[in-house]
Structure 1
Amino acid sequence: MKATVLAALLLAYCILAACTRSSPNAQLVQADSLMQKFPDSALHFLEKIRPEDLNSLEDRAYHALLLTEVKDKNFIQQTEDSQIRIAVQYYDSIKNIPMQAKSYYYWGCIRRDQNNHPEALKIFFTAIAHAKKISDNKLAGYIYNNIANLYLLQRLNEQADSIYQITERLAIQEKDSNLLADVLSQRGMIDINKGKEYYSEAEQKILLAFKISRHIAQRSLMAKTAYSLSLLYGRMNMGKEAVEFA
C-alpha cells in the first residue's frame, strides 16, 4: 500500500514538473531567432520582457545574455555589466560550454567599452578557451578580432597583427565577409604605419577590404576602408586617388 502511494506521489510530481517547466521561454527563443537578420526587432521584443516575469534561473540567464548580445548588434555601447554577469554565473554553474563562450565574449565587450582593457583581455581569453572546446570558429574569429584591436590600441602592433592573421584565416574558413573586410582593413593600417616599403602590401589589403565592403553593402566598413585608402594614397603622393577616396 505504502509503495503504491509513494509511486502515485512520484508520478504526480513528475507530471507537475513537466507541466510547470517553462524553460526555455518561448518568447526568448523567438527573440533569439530574430537576432541575426533583424536585431532592431529583437531588441524591441526583448525590452518588453521583464526579468521578474521569468520563472526560472535558466530563463533569466538566457534573457540577460540575449539582451546584452542584441544591444551589441545594434551598436549600443554598454558599460553596465550586471545583466551579463547573471548569464556568466549561471552558465558557469551548469558548465554549458557554448553559452559560457558567448557570455564571456559579451562580458569582454562590455569591459572593452568601459576602457578596462586588461580585464577585457583576461575575459576574452577565457571566452576563446571555451570557444575552442566546441570548435566555434565563427565566435572565435570575433573574439580574436577584439583581442587584436585591444593590442592595437596599446600600440602592440606586432602582437596585434599576429592575432589578426588568425582572425583572417577564421573569417575565410567561415566565409564571414564582414569580419574579413574589417581585419584586412586593420592589417592594412598596420602596414601603413610600418613605412613606405609596406605601402604596396597595405594597398592590396585595404583595396580588397573596400571591394568586399561594397559587395556586402556594409556602409560603415566602406567609409572606414575609403578613409584608409585616402590616407595611404596621400602618403604615396597620389593626390587624385587620395581625393577620390576622401
Structure 2
Amino acid sequence: MRNAIQRLALLPIVTHFLLLAACHRTDRQAEALLNNADSLLTVNPDSALHLLEALPATAELTHRESARYALLLAQATDKCEKPLFPCDSLLDIALDYYDNDEKERAVALLYKGRLEVEMAQSERAVDFLLEGLNVIEKYPEDAETKRHLLSSLGNEYYDARLYEKAGKAYQELLKCCFTDKDKSIALYSLSQNFLTSNKDSLIALKYKSLEYAKKSKDSAVIAIAALNLSFESSEEEIDSSLHYAQLALKWLPKNKERNNYYANLGDIWFRKEENDSATYYLNKSLENNENKNERAATLLSLADIKEKQKDYQATTELLYQFIEIAASTYFSEQSTKIQQLLHQYDIKKKIDQEQKRSKNSLENAIRVFIFLCLALIVFFQYRINKRDKQRTINEQKLAQAQEKYNNLQYSINESQRIIALLQKEQSDFSQEAEKYRQEITERETAIEKLKTEKEGLRTWLFKQSNIYQIIERLSKQKVTSKKKLTVLTNHEQKVLKEVVMELYADYISDTKTQYPLLTDEDLLCLCLEKVGFSNQTIALCFGNTDTHALAQRKYRIKARMNERK
C-alpha cells in the first residue's frame, strides 16, 4: 500500500519532467547565431542582417527563440534602411510571446508600428506606437526604445497635420536625448515650420540643432542640420541659405545620396538668378535619382530656367518628361497597392503553414510523452523495489553500528577527561610564556627609544659645534656662479673630520667592521649624509664647488660595499 502511494506521489513530478523534455527543443547552433547577430547589431547591422538571413528555413526554433529572432531581424532590417515587410508575421509571433510587462514587447510594437507606416496604415501604426509607449514607461532606463517610439509617433502626427500633438511628442523626445547627436535630431524635428508660429524661435531651434550636430562630430547629422538651415526662404537671407546648403553638401558622407542636396542648392541659385549654377546643380540632382516625385519637381524647375532663357524647345522637352513621370506615378501607386495585397496574402499563407507545423509538432510531442511515461514507470518501479531491499540491509547494519557506537562512547569520555587535564597544564605554561614575551617586547621598545634619543642628542651636539655653524653659513650662499662659492679650508676640513669622528665613533666603528674597504673620507661622507646635509653642502665640506666629485665618491663607496658582500 505504501509503495502504491509513493508511486502516485511521483507521478506529477514525472509528468512535469516529461513535458519539459518534450517541449525543450533548443537548437544550439541557432542560439549561437542569434547571440552573434545581437553583438553585431549596433556596430555592423549589415553583417547582423546577413547572419540572420543565413539561418536555415528548416531550423527548428522554440517560441522564445522565434520571438527573439523576430526582434533582431526587425532591428537589423530597420538599421539597414530596408523595408520591414518580411518581418510582419515574425513580429506577430513576438507580440504573441512577450507580455505587457516585458520591455521586449515595446520593441516589437515599435517595429510593428513602423511596418504599418510603410503599408500606409497610419491609424494602426499610431495604436501600436502608443501601446509601446505605455509598456516602456515601466522601464525608464531603456531611453533608446522610448526615443524611437516618440520619434515615429511624432512623425505620424506631423504627417497627419496634428501639429500640436507632434510638437508635444518631439518635446518629450528631446527629454529622452542624452547624446549630442540625438539632441540634434530631436531639435531638427521640433524646427519643422508648422510646429511653431514664431520665426525667431524656429531659427533658434535650427541653429541649436546644428550646434549639437557639430559637437557630435557625425558628418551625416551635421549635413542634415545645415540643410535644414538652408530652407529659409526670405530674399534677405538668401546668402545665408546658400552658405548652409554648401556646408551641408560639404559634410555629407560620400556613401549618402546627394540628389536632395543638389536640388536644394540648384533652387537657391535659381532664386539668386544665377541660372548657369542652378542648371548645373539641378542636372546633377537628376543623376541616379529614382524618386519620381523629386525628378518631376526638378524637371519643372529646369523648365522654368529654360523658359527664362527663351529656350522654348528645351522647355517643351522638359515638360514632356515631367508629364511622362506624372502619368507613370498613378500606375506606380496602383502597383504598390497590389504589392501590399500580395504581401498580406503571403503573410496569411505563412501563418497557416506555421499553425499546421505547430499542430504536427504537438502530436509528435504527445506520442513521445506517452512512450517516455511508460518507460519511466517501469524504471521507477525497479528503483523502488531495489530501494526496499537496500532498506532491510541498512537496518541490520544500523543495529550493529549502534552497539559499536556505545563502546566507542565510553572510550571517548575517558579520552576527554585526559585531554582536559593536559589542556589545564598547557594553559599554565602558555600564561608564563606570554609574560616573558611581553617583557621582551617592552625591553626592545625601550632600546629603540634610547637609540632614537641617542641619535637626536648626537645631532644636537654636532649642531652646537663651531664647524656646524660654518657649514650652515656656507650652505646658504647666494651667488650666480659656482666659481664664487666659498668652501671649507683644509684646517676646517680637519676640524670637521675630528668632530664627526668623535661624535659618530660607534657608528663609524660598526660600519668599518662591516665594510673594511671603506676609507676615512668615505666614512665621513656617510656621516654627513646621516646628519641630513644636501649633496651640494657635502661637496662644500670636501672643498668642492660642484657635486661631480661627490657623485664619483658615492659610486666608489657603493662599489666597495658590494665588493665586501
Distance between the aligned counterparts of 1:219 and 1:85, measured in 2? Answer: 37
Note the C-alpha offset of 1:17: 7.5
Distance between the aligned counterparts of 2:63 and 2:36, measured in 1? Answer: 18
The 1:26/1:188 distance shift into structure 2, 3 A limit, reads same
Q: Is the 8 A contact 1:51 1:60 kept in 2?
A: no
Distance between the aligned counterparts of 1:12 and 1:129, measured in 2? Answer: 37
Note the C-alpha offset of 1:49: 1.1
Aligned length: 237
Distance between the aligned counterparts of 1:36 and 1:65, measured in 2? Answer: 14
Q: 2:102 aligns with which of 87, 97, 105?
A: 97
What is aligned with 1:119?
A: 124
The 1:220/1:111 distance shift into structure 2, 3 A limit, reads farther
Distance between the aligned counterparts of 1:231 and 1:203, measured in 2? Answer: 10
Distance between the aligned counterparts of 1:200 and 1:162, measured in 2? Answer: 19
Q: Percent identity?
A: 21
Q: Is the 8 A contact 2:70 2:90 kept in 1?
A: yes
How does 1:32-43 map onto structure 2 within 5 Å? 32-43=38-49
How does 1:155-166 map onto structure 2 within 5 Å? 155-166=161-172
How does 1:40-79 map onto structure 2 within 5 Å? 40-79=46-85
1:118 counterpart letter in structure 2: E
Note the C-alpha offset of 1:108: 0.6
Q: Is the 8 A contact 2:103 2:139 kept in 1?
A: yes
Q: Is the 8 A contact 2:196 2:202 kept in 1?
A: no
What is aligned with 2:114?
A: 109
Q: Is the 8 A contact 1:142 1:179 kept in 2?
A: no
Note the C-alpha offset of 1:166: 0.8
Distance between the aligned counterparts of 2:16 and 2:131, measured in 1? Answer: 43
Distance between the aligned counterparts of 2:23 and 2:123, measured in 1? Answer: 45
1:230 counterpart letter in structure 2: S
Distance between the aligned counterparts of 1:41 and 1:153, measured in 2? Answer: 33
What is aligned with 1:83?
A: 90
Which one scores higher on RCO, CA 8 angstroms, separation ≥ 6? 1
What is aligned with 1:189?
A: 192
Q: Is the 8 A contact 2:150 2:173 kept in 1?
A: yes
The 1:220/1:10 distance shift into structure 2, 3 A limit, reads same
Does 1:237 pair with 2:219? no
Q: 1:145 aligns with which of 137, 146, 151?
A: 151
Note the C-alpha offset of 1:33: 1.5
The 1:230/1:41 distance shift into structure 2, 3 A limit, reads same
Distance between the aligned counterparts of 1:53 and 1:239, measured in 2? Answer: 60
Note the C-alpha offset of 1:9: 6.1
Distance between the aligned counterparts of 2:70 and 2:97, measured in 1? Answer: 10
Distance between the aligned counterparts of 1:238 and 1:168, measured in 2? Answer: 28
Once the two structures are superposed, residues 62-81 of structure 1 have per-residue CA deviations (whole angstroms, 9 ceiling, x without a partner) of 11111011101111122351
Once the two structures are superposed, residues 17-54 of structure 1 have per-residue CA deviations (whole angstroms, 9 ceiling, x without a partner) of 89964588122122112111211111111111135313
2:95 counterpart letter in structure 1: V
The 1:61/1:208 distance shift into structure 2, 3 A limit, reads same
Once the two structures are superposed, residues 182-217 of structure 1 have per-residue CA deviations (whole angstroms, 9 ceiling, x without a partner) of 1201211236x745xx22222221122223333434
Structure 1: unaligned runs, 5 residues or longer: none
Distance between the aligned counterparts of 1:186 and 1:11, measured in 2? Answer: 54
Distance between the aligned counterparts of 2:53 and 2:38, measured in 1? Answer: 13
Note the C-alpha offset of 1:96: 5.6
What is aligned with 1:201?
A: 201
Larger gyration radius, structure 1 or structure 2: 2
Q: Using the TM superposition, name which of 83-92 and 107-116 deviates more.
A: 83-92
1:203 counterpart letter in structure 2: I
Q: Using the TM superposition, name which of 153-162 and 212-221 deviates more.
A: 212-221
Distance between the aligned counterparts of 1:160 and 1:14, measured in 2? Answer: 50
Distance between the aligned counterparts of 1:210 and 1:91, measured in 2? Answer: 39
Distance between the aligned counterparts of 2:20 and 2:91, measured in 1? Answer: 33
Q: Using the TM superposition, name which of 175-184 and 56-65 deviates more.
A: 175-184
| TM-score of the aligned structures, taking structure 2 as reference length | 0.38
1:61 counterpart letter in structure 2: A
Distance between the aligned counterparts of 1:99 and 1:60, measured in 2? Answer: 13
Once the two structures are superposed, residues 108-132 of structure 1 have per-residue CA deviations (whole angstroms, 9 ceiling, x without a partner) of 1111121211110000011111101
Distance between the aligned counterparts of 2:20 and 2:135, measured in 1? Answer: 36
Q: Using the TM superposition, name which of 177-186 and 37-46 deviates more.
A: 177-186
Q: Using the TM superposition, name which of 32-41 and 100-109 deviates more.
A: 32-41
1:105 is paired with a residue of what secondary structure? helix
Note the C-alpha offset of 1:11: 11
Distance between the aligned counterparts of 2:152 and 2:24, measured in 1? Answer: 43
Structure 2: unaligned runs, 5 residues or longer: 246-565
Q: Is the 8 A contact 1:51 1:63 kept in 2?
A: no
Q: Using the TM superposition, name which of 162-171 and 214-223 deviates more.
A: 214-223
| TM-score of the aligned structures, taking structure 1 as reference length | 0.83
Distance between the aligned counterparts of 1:109 and 1:237, measured in 2? Answer: 40
2:213 counterpart letter in structure 1: S
Q: Is the 8 A contact 1:188 1:205 kept in 2?
A: yes
CA RMSD, 1 decimal: 3.0
Does 1:224 pair with 2:227? no
Distance between the aligned counterparts of 1:153 and 1:142, measured in 2? Answer: 17
Q: Is the 8 A contact 2:113 2:128 kept in 1?
A: yes
1:63 counterpart letter in structure 2: Y
